[in-house]
Structure 1
Amino acid sequence: MLYCRLRFKRSYRDVAELFWLQGLHFTHETVRDWSERFPAELAEHIRIKRQRTFGRTWYVDETYVRIQGKWCYLYRGIDEYGNLLDVRLSEHRDMEAAKAVFEQVAELMPEPPERIVTDGHTSYPRAISEVLGESVEHRVFKSVHNPVEQSHRKLKQRYYPTMGFSNVETAGYFCEAVEELNQFLRVRRRFRPGWANSEA
């Protein structure tokens, strides 16, 4: 049930109906409950098993998500090969949030990258130098040229059918689980014999 919610563009009611057709009866509220209770455990389980070898160029960007009528900021990072670095939901777009993002990514990485590409928000240069070191080059590209900007839509396709979450914490866990599951499946498809390299 949780896989259906995280992987496909389906509402709570859609998922409950799909299982009802298979003879498993529960309400959409059960789907909602699972979607808020278990993504954190799933995301952490996949995250700790994820490979730690990444490219030398990181792309970091943020996008908006709406939670209980309030706009929040979803920070995401990928390398030049499209591999997920990490994802973090924040109520603010400021220095503290930017530093928290890089500190979270740094926990997974054996060494800092050669360069980081962002949209040029004023919080990034200082956050990069303080967390990752002054030797890391910071490049600025308009969002349209930043590959992480193009991949935001995949997450939003999963997020919007939920009609929002009860709080920022559960929304953050859901977003992390979606991204970790996508990366998990992406890596396995890439090495499956006869499977074309896809970013789906």
Structure 2
Amino acid sequence: MWPTMTTPNAAVRRVRKRLPYPLDVMLTCVRWYVACPLSLRHLEEMMLERAVSVDHSTVHRWAIKLLPVIEKAFGPRKREVGKSWRMDETYIKVKGEWKYLYRAVEEAGNTIDFLFRAKRDKTAAQRYFEKAIAPNGAPETVTIDKSGANLAGLHIINLEREAPIKIRQTKCLNNVVGQDQRAIKTVK
């Protein structure tokens, strides 16, 4: 579960000062909300079963306030990703609008990074690769589907690099990403 935070950093202390609930309750709710396909109302019911009365809108506020703090605290401790990435994009509905979700996974199936964009084009693909490479380092190989936009975005990235990233275009090797996206497309 969550590591114990006996000496929380300044950002956690500021958030905790404004929120009257125990930190472990807040972190548990936020973790379940992010990691599991649960709605806020399901979390409200689950916490009530554990004798903790919390409104679903309160859990939502906790997520908004705590997730940036958690990302900042644990980001530097993120484990290294593999050097072979499988990247794909899919479309999902976010707040009633269709958006493209760019994602990449490593050989083990762990998500490397993601990005929401309104369009599926060369600029969006380039922006995704820049965002994913910055904290994780450049991969040796990227496997993509037959999307011309992703190929063009990678070519732009390779123009700026001394050692280019090897690009493989094949649909069947991207099944790892495609299968992983089924869980994302399920409605909460």
Is 1:39 the counterpart of 2:67 in the alignment?
A: yes
Structure exhibiting the larger radius of gyration computed from Cα positions: 2
Instruction: Find the aligned partners of 2:131 and 2:182 in 1 and give their Cα distance.
Output: 23
Q: Which residue identity lines up with residue 138 of structure 1 in the other structure?
A: I
Map Cα deviations across residues 109-151 of structure 1 (whole Å, 9 max, x no partner).
34x3232111121112221122244732221222684311111
Note closer, same or farther for the CA distance 1:85–1:125 as it changes in structure 2 (3 Å cut): same
Structure 1 gap ranges (5+): 162-200
Map Cα deviations across residues 31-80 of structure 1 (whole Å, 9 max, x no partner).
2323334333333433321123x333211111222122210011111122
Instruction: Find the aligned partners of 1:81 and 1:116 in 2 and give their Cα distance.
Output: 14
Aligned residues: 157
Partner of 2:37: 9
Is 1:146 the counterpart of 2:172 in the alignment?
A: no
Note closer, same or farther for the CA distance 1:104–1:38 as it changes in structure 2 (3 Å cut): same
Instruction: Find the aligned partners of 2:74 and 2:118 in 1 and give their Cα distance.
Output: 25
Asked if the contact 2:87/2:174 (under 8 Å) is kept, the reply is no
Q: Which residue identity lines up with residue 101 of structure 1 in the other structure?
A: Y
Q: Which residue identity lines up with residue 59 of structure 1 in the other structure?
A: R
Q: CA RMSD in A?
A: 2.2
SS of the residue aligned with 1:108? helix
Note closer, same or farther for the CA distance 1:42–1:64 as it changes in structure 2 (3 Å cut): farther
Asked if the contact 1:59/1:77 (under 8 Å) is kept, the reply is yes
Instruction: Find the aligned partners of 1:38 and 1:29 in 2 and give their Cα distance.
Output: 14
Partner of 2:57: 29
CA apart distance, 1:28? 1.6
CA apart distance, 1:6? 1.4
Instruction: Find the aligned partners of 2:135 and 2:155 in 1 and give their Cα distance.
Output: 18
CA apart distance, 1:18? 1.1
Is 1:103 the counterpart of 2:130 in the alignment?
A: yes
Partner of 1:63: 90
Note closer, same or farther for the CA distance 1:150–1:39 as it changes in structure 2 (3 Å cut): same
Asked if the contact 2:141/2:166 (under 8 Å) is kept, the reply is yes
* Partner residue of 2:155 out of 115, 125, 129: 129
Q: Which residue identity lines up with residue 148 of structure 2 in the other structure?
A: T
Partner of 2:142: 116
> What TM-score do you get using the length of structure 2 for normalisation?
0.73
Question: Matched residues, percent identical?
Answer: 25
Greater relative contact order (CA < 8 Å, ≥ 6 in sequence): 1
Partner of 1:76: 103
Structure 2 gap ranges (5+): 1-28
Note closer, same or farther for the CA distance 1:68–1:150 as it changes in structure 2 (3 Å cut): same
